[in-house]
Amino acid sequence: MAKKNRHALVLAGGRGTRFWPRSRTKTPKQLLPFLGENSLLQETIERLRPAVPEGHLWVLTSEELRDAVRKQLPGVPAEQIIAEPAQRNTAPCLGLAAKIIHDLDENAVLGIFPADHHIEKPAAFRKLLAPAFAAAERGKLATIGIEPRWPETGYGYLQFPKGTGAGSMASFPLKRFREKPDLKTAKKFLASGNFFWNAGMFFWRADQFLGAMRSYMPKTAALLASLPNTKDKQFKAQLAKTYPKAENVSVDFGIMEKAAAENMVEGVPAGDIGWNDLGSWNAIYELLPRDAKGNSSKSQTLLHGSTGCYVEAGGKMVAVVGLDNLIVVDTPDALLIVHRDQAQRVGEVVKLLEHHGHHHLL
Amino acid sequence: MAKKNRHALVLAGGRGTRFWPRSRTKTPKQLLPFLGENSLLQETIERLRPAVPEGHLWVLTSEELRDAVRKQLPGVPAEQIIAEPAQRNTAPCLGLAAKIIHDLDENAVLGIFPADHHIEKPAAFRKLLAPAFAAAERGKLATIGIEPRWPETGYGYLQFPKGTGAGSMASFPLKRFREKPDLKTAKKFLASGNFFWNAGMFFWRADQFLGAMRSYMPKTAALLASLPNTKDKQFKAQLAKTYPKAENVSVDFGIMEKAAAENMVEGVPAGDIGWNDLGSWNAIYELLPRDAKGNSSKSQTLLHGSTGCYVEAGGKMVAVVGLDNLIVVDTPDALLIVHRDQAQRVGEVVKLLEHHGHHHLL
């Protein structure tokens, strides 16, 4: 296991429903530019490129998005853009990725990264990768913890040993993976100083992960083991038949929580890398420059007696009169207006549209 | 002076800026359908048709709107659609209309009506026209008063004699025209019972009005008197040269207030005719049917955790999340979002757009 066996795998299969109506099933959040000219996926790939040997960048996405992903990433070989044959949550698809990359490089060590997060300080971020990959190379399942900035109830937490300092550039044994807490618990976590946010970044040897699957998800591990070698002509057809039978379980719940209980998990506590998961339109608003009235806009606007608003509407003139803290996103076939405090609820809109059969708007 | 000399003149030169972005300089409020299939102008003409002899319907508009008005009113002869050569407020243009119609019918009695109001009960409205025309035929300048329903500060008021009952079907001498009052005064007016709203409807003999102009606006009266007969070939060219020199004064201020002081004005106090001047988008909201959450919509909408909203957006899906009492009007090049309480301020948006040179959006 050496640096030459390091691979970076970007998870780009999400729907990003909280960014409707800009985010759609065919052009979801990770394929859109929010904070610059490049999409979040392109930014993620560029951020990782210096961290692994040339040619060791992989993307895991859905069949539906595969062509769009290839178009955005001409530098990534087509065979390294893996499409899951069906949506079965993160545990099976990471098992599949481990199998595919292991077939090619039996000493492969994988770093796994969401495609739709923003990291303000990519160089500081890359420094964390060395201790995380090193822990993986020592046979651990590793992750990166983000120093919590508020008592967020929308994230899982990683329990580090007492006294762990953010930005230590070392990995520490993790006692527990904690699921999304209630507010009271989140406040306790924040006060304790040794709980960090789980940002969904993982590091492991491919063979180690496949071993962990055999222990904790034997049914799915057996399905993967039944597949021929990736280079085999039968692979694709077999995969299409086999994969839908996999368990629909997240890697946090299916693997990491159980492995942590057996002291197999380590974490690197990040210092300030400017991490933001862009969880809603409000996160975009907060990252963009604002005028003296707290308004931020990507359109022609006339914000009259209005403050704290975010507007994007292509080339259209948008007038907002006597209203505060609105998010306005206009597209040719759908318009969203939401209070900034309620930006989390945009996902509910998408569910309702789906329920009412408006599939062309999804 | 007899019923056969009655003419109805509809004032259709306004801009309707408070209905931006639907109302534009080339298709202003009065040319748009708000409450049915017909435009407000078409509704006004149909409401008046039974009240005057056939062929006695006239429209006063601007050069810019003349073609659009003709298109909407194929039943009104082209020569009865008068375009002011320049915008000079209501006194000069009513003087011009009196001159033109007087040249054709020296016994003409005119009823003058705004093109952009809504009247829920047209038959009840038409019953008021008999006493109003009759007062005009007796040589008075007459008007119709609308029974006030709240202490509105945006309208002028007509001071009737104490004890005047709404819906009396008679005309009464008016003591005063009162300009837009402050709230305290408006409340006093409402409590007194003998103040009625000025709805901008007027009745007078053409010769009588021209005489009043000679008394109160001699400069403009002289300009009109200098014009040749309407049928003269030189009329149009002379008018174009002369008209811009007219005084820029409203008929209320320039004529009616002064005539009232000389006991020349009478008023008919309307009962419930369902009058509404459609002063803002909020007036439209209040006239349209609403669902249990107080929402009213002309579009596909998904109003999630939102109440009291009005939405029109063509064929577009509009999602409003966690917001109350919004007006949302979407058009291909401009989108308005305004709190219902602030709907009066939409006119300010148009002024600002004009100020910033966005003439294509006006």
Domain boundaries, chain A: 3-276, 289-361
The phi-psi region of residue B322 (left if phi > 0; otherwise alpha if psi is between -120 and 50; otherwise beta) is left
Instruction: Tell me if residue B38 falls in helix, strand or coil.
Output: coil
Of A332, A337, A348, the CB nearest to B328: A337
Of B326, B333, B342, the CB nearest to A317: B333
| Surface-to-core class of residue A123, CB atoms within 10 Å of its CB (0-12 exposed, 13-18 middle, 19+ buried) | exposed
Question: Per residue in B64-93, pLDDT tens?
Answer: 999 999 999 999 999 999 999 998 999 999
A237 to chain B, any CB pair closer than 8 A? The answer is no
Report residue B251's pLDDT band, with 50, 70 and 90 as the boundaries.
Answer: very high
Report residue A216's pLDDT band, with 50, 70 and 90 as the boundaries.
Answer: very high
pLDDT at B1: 58
Once rounded to an integer, what is the mean pLDDT over residues B37-58? 97
Of B313, B321, B326, the CB nearest to A349: B321
Question: CA of A314: how far to CAs of A44, A146, B278, in Å?
Answer: 25, 34, 31
> What is the Cα Rg of chain B in Å?
21
CATH 3.30.365.10 fits domain A3-276: no
- Cα dihedral A14, A17, A23, A24 sign: positive
pLDDT at A267: 97
Contact A317 B328 (CB under 8 A): no
Contacts of B346 in chain A (CB under 8 A): 319, 321
Question: Is 0.85 exceeded by the ipTM?
Answer: yes
CA distance A129 to A102: 20
Contacts of B323 in chain A (CB under 8 A): 326, 337-339, 342
CA distance B163 to B10: 32
CA distance A295 to A326: 9
Contacts of A318 in chain B (CB under 8 A): 334-335, 337
Pairing of strands A300-304, A317-321: parallel
The whole-angstrom distance between B117's CA and the closest CA on chain A is 24
CA distance A260 to A253: 11
Pairing of strands A195-205, A109-114: antiparallel
Contact B352 A302 (CB under 8 A): yes
Q: What is the pTM of this model?
A: 0.90
The Cβ of residue B85 has, within 10 Å, a number of other Cβ atoms equal to 18
Question: Per residue in B160-202, pLDDT tens?
Answer: 999 898 888 899 999 898 889 999 999 999 999 999 999 999 9
Report residue B296's pLDDT band, with 50, 70 and 90 as the boundaries.
Answer: very high
Pairing of strands B275-276, A176-178: unpaired
B225 to chain A, any CB pair closer than 8 A? The answer is no
B362 to chain A, any CB pair closer than 8 A? The answer is no
Of A313, A320, A342, the CB nearest to B322: A342
Q: Pick the closest to residue B169 from B133, B124, B128, B125 (CA basis).
A: B128
Residue B346: closest C-alpha in chain A: A321
The whole-angstrom distance between B208's CA and the closest CA on chain A is 46
Question: Per residue in A262-281, pLDDT tens?
Answer: 999 999 999 999 999 999 99
B317 to chain A, any CB pair closer than 8 A? The answer is yes
For chain B, what percentages of helix, strand and coil (3-state, to nearest 5) are there?
Answer: 40, 25, 35
pLDDT above 80: residue A1 = no
A174 to chain B, any CB pair closer than 8 A? The answer is no
Instruction: Tell me if residue B259 falls in helix, strand or coil.
Output: helix
Question: Looking at chain B from residue 14 to 53, which residues have their Cβ under 8 Å from any Cβ of chain A?
Answer: 20-21
Of A313, A321, A341, the CB nearest to B346: A321
B341 to chain A, any CB pair closer than 8 A? The answer is yes
Which residue bears the tokens 């038409």?
A: B126
Q: Pick the closest to residue B30 from B118, B116, B119 (CA basis).
A: B116
Helix (H) or strand (E) segment spanning residue B30: none
Cis previous bond, B131, omega within 30: no
Instruction: Tell me if residue B275 falls in helix, strand or coil.
Output: strand
